[in-house]
Chains A and B, each alone.
Chain A
Amino acid sequence: MRVHTPHDLPEALELLASLPGAIPAAGTTDLLPRWHAGRTRPDHLVILTHIPCLRRISVEDDVLYLGALLTHHLLATSAFVTAHVPALSAAALSIGAPAIRNMGTMGGNIANASPAADLPPPLLAHETSLVLSSASSVRILPLHEFFLSYSKVDLQPGEIISEVRIPLLPAHARSFFFKLGTRKAQSIAKVSIAGTALLGRGRVIESIRLAAGSIAPIPLRLHGTESALIGRTLTIDLCDEASRIAMAEVHPIDDVRSTASYRRHAVGVLVHRLLTAIERG
């Protein structure tokens, strides 16, 4: 294996285009244990962490632009992110522990395609698009089209996630993230839920977007639950009803971290918790 440490984006994309079998890497929090256990042996690694433009945070025309190489720590502490995308900073803060949050990046958390990843649910709830860059092209893809099936994403050879674009919601929008793991730190989600909502007069739900992790082979929006809530008044009874609908909508599995029936129950609990938080503002 050869490791390359380019200092700008064109150099990195050129390396990825010209070296057969080259894969991009950043925090290596997931890659290195797999490499050490002999489960992955790339010929070339292109390290993206020394490219400053991939860490930018900016707002233009009501869109928040976040570089894919922002670490979980930076997402959790950025004033822009905590103010405009609270569910994303909460999810970033729930990952690992301080040292892991200093290393792991948003792009890696998305591209790894783990159904249990913490950042995709809040990014889906905020209707995020990805900017995918290669030496020969730049394309913009809604995040929900990026996840194809278990461990499969629409990322072509030579392409990296360079940026995410998050449309800003009105100031009164609400945005929350809840996760259930075995302990507060260092745990991978058994289930996670993120949601955004706009409430009108009399707590009528004008718009709502819910997304969940660890409930299917890929992170998903809960469209069935959303459409049952639109136009309704947010009451405790409605929270109960939404919990039941969400539990019926998801398709979790038994695995090393939890069981399908526990996960289904937890989806109901977390949806209730999320809607209660939205109701309280």
Chain B
Amino acid sequence: MIRRTMVVNGRTETVDIEPGLRLIDVLRDRLNLTGTKEGCGEGECGSCSVIVDGTLVLACLTLAESLVDGTRILTVEGLSNDALGARLQRAFLACHAVQCGYCTPGMLLAAHALLTEDPDPTSERIVQALSGNLCRCTGYAMIVEAIQAASREHG
């Protein structure tokens, strides 16, 4: 058992971590942040995408103990308190980019990472940025449109 302090969506959280616990387990089972979804559990589907110290990663492939104290984590629950996150959420609603919703948290975080780096991406760049996030409902077109809309709203 090891104690780690991390800053999750701006809140400082102290968690006792058992060996082998993944970041997704900490988020969902310890902190009750169940917005982050586990799809495949092996890095293929992107539904557990979160942002750790400014970088998009997969929570199912991140060993919680490998994070050092003070690590900053952004999950879907933190997006509404963040200007870009809130803009993306509104655009996803307006463009009907959500159907069953299981992939949506990961899509939002992947889009957040993209627009942070490139506020005005081409549609090709958007498709590349989402290439690790599977959606079996929408056919992706509305998700790409939503990200374009969020990017335009900024411009």
Question: Nearest B residue to A103 by beta-carbon distance?
Answer: B57
**Is B75 in contact with chain A by the CB < 8 A criterion?**
no
Q: Are A99 and B56 closer than 8 Å at their CB atoms?
A: yes
Question: Nearest B residue to A50 by beta-carbon distance?
Answer: B68
| Interface residue ranges of B132-148 to A (CB < 8 Å) | 132-133
A27-35, A143-151, A172-180 - the one binding chain B: A27-35
**Is A184 in contact with chain B by the CB < 8 A criterion?**
yes
CB contact under 8 A between A49 and B132, given known A3-B2, A29-B43, A33-B43: no
Q: Are A1 and B46 closer than 8 Å at their CB atoms?
A: no
Q: Which residues of A contact B56 (CB under 8 A)?
A: 98-99, 102
Shortest distance from the beta carbon of B28 to any chain A beta carbon, whole Å: 15
Q: Are B62 and A28 closer than 8 Å at their CB atoms?
A: yes
**Is A138 in contact with chain B by the CB < 8 A criterion?**
no
- The complex places the Cα of A29 from the Cα of B46 at a distance, in Å, of 13
Q: Are A5 and B68 closer than 8 Å at their CB atoms?
A: yes
Q: Which residues of A contact B41 (CB under 8 A)?
A: 33, 36
Q: Are A3 and B63 closer than 8 Å at their CB atoms?
A: yes
Q: Are A1 and B20 closer than 8 Å at their CB atoms?
A: yes
Partner of B131, one of A33, A36, A98: A98
Q: Which residues of B contact A33 (CB under 8 A)?
A: 41-43, 61
**Is A185 in contact with chain B by the CB < 8 A criterion?**
yes
- The complex places the Cα of A50 from the Cα of B52 at a distance, in Å, of 14
Q: Mark A33-69, 1 if CB is under 8 A from B, else 0.
A: 1011000000001010110000000000000000000
Shortest distance from the beta carbon of A173 to any chain B beta carbon, whole Å: 28
Interface size on B, residues (CB 8 A): 28
- The complex places the Cα of A100 from the Cα of B133 at a distance, in Å, of 11
Shortest distance from the beta carbon of A74 to any chain B beta carbon, whole Å: 11
Q: Which residues of A contact B128 (CB under 8 A)?
A: 98, 185
Q: Which residues of B contact A47 (CB under 8 A)?
A: 63, 65-66
**Is B155 in contact with chain A by the CB < 8 A criterion?**
no
- The complex places the Cα of A36 from the Cα of B113 at a distance, in Å, of 27
**Is B151 in contact with chain A by the CB < 8 A criterion?**
no
**Is A2 in contact with chain B by the CB < 8 A criterion?**
yes
Q: Are A100 and B65 closer than 8 Å at their CB atoms?
A: no
Interface of B is mostly: mixed
Q: Are A186 and B66 closer than 8 Å at their CB atoms?
A: no
- The complex places the Cα of A97 from the Cα of B125 at a distance, in Å, of 12
Q: Are A28 and B20 closer than 8 Å at their CB atoms?
A: no
**Is B14 in contact with chain A by the CB < 8 A criterion?**
no
**Is B74 in contact with chain A by the CB < 8 A criterion?**
no
Q: Are A49 and B66 closer than 8 Å at their CB atoms?
A: yes
Shortest distance from the beta carbon of B11 to any chain A beta carbon, whole Å: 22
Q: Are A185 and B66 closer than 8 Å at their CB atoms?
A: no
Q: Which residues of B contact A181 (CB under 8 A)?
A: none
Shortest distance from the beta carbon of B56 to any chain A beta carbon, whole Å: 5
Q: Which residues of B contact A103 (CB under 8 A)?
A: 57-58, 61-62
Q: Are B19 and A100 closer than 8 Å at their CB atoms?
A: no
- Interface, chain B (partner A; CB < 8 A): 2, 19-20, 22, 41-44, 46, 49, 55-58, 60-63, 65-66, 68, 110, 113, 128-129, 131-133
29 A–B contacts, CB within 8 A, in A order = A2-B19, A3-B63, A5-B65, A5-B68, A25-B66, A28-B61, A28-B62, A32-B60, A32-B61, A32-B62, A32-B63, A33-B41, A33-B61, A45-B63, A45-B66, A47-B65, A49-B66, A96-B43, A98-B56, A98-B131, A98-B132, A99-B43, A99-B46, A99-B110, A99-B132, A100-B132, A102-B55, A103-B57, A186-B131
